[in-house]
Amino acid sequence: MKKEKRFSKKEYHEAKNSHINLDTSFINYLVASQTAYPMKKRPDRNNLPEGTVPCHYCPGKCCRYFALPIDTPESWKEYDYMRWFLLHDRATVFVDDGTWYLLVHTKCKHLDDRTNLCGIYETRPDICREYSSNKCEYEDHYVYDQYFELPEQVEEYAEAVLGTKRKREAT
């Protein structure tokens, strides 16, 4: 699975001081997650030392979020549900290979902050066992078809896809 672009401190401050309207609490979270979890110098996946796996050099990226597939929105009501998702902290929506996902940026409670490894590795859930580090987001080459952080982005996209939204009827 691909992962969102992380902002450097410099990019964060440039964006914060520009005309771009960013959800700064979410950006602060992203910046903090990059600096709060020190890791060993990350070698290229193809040059890992004998007997190691990417997890030994990773900040536990795959354990810091979960993503659930959602229905492809086809109406204003369905786009409004997505807007509602994004009104919550640390939630984003993305499209990857035509599939829509709700992504919740939250750390697994069993990820060890000191080692960035699983604290219950031997008894981890099946979904974790089935996840392979062969094609994980160890590298930072991730791009999505669409990526939404703010409810306003969803509304703009919906308007481009569906046309102008009609005013809500008074109840």
Question: What's the pLDDT score for residue 9?
Answer: 52
Nearest to 67 by CA among 162, 3, 139, 152: 3
pTM: 0.68
Is pLDDT of 16 > 50? no
Question: What's the pLDDT score for residue 166?
Answer: 63
Amino acid of residue 19? H
* pLDDT tens digits, 71-80: 999 999 999 9
Name, in order, each residue with C-beta under 8 angstroms of 110's C-beta and a sequence gap of 6 or more: 63, 118, 119, 120, 124
Question: What's the pLDDT score for residue 160?
Answer: 95
Burial string for 86-97 (b: 16+ CB within 10 Å, else e) reads beeeebbbbebe
Question: What's the pLDDT score for residue 126?
Answer: 96
| Domain residue ranges of the chain, discontinuous segments joined by + | 9-162
Burial string for 57-66 (b: 16+ CB within 10 Å, else e) reads bbebbbbbbe
Nearest to 2 by CA among 134, 94, 122: 94
Higher pLDDT, residue 167 or 85: 85
Percent with pLDDT over 70 in the chain: 73
Nearest to 156 by CA among 66, 76, 63: 76
Question: What's the pLDDT score for residue 73?
Answer: 97
* pLDDT tens digits, 118-161: 999 999 999 999 998 887 888 877 788 999 999 999 999 999 99
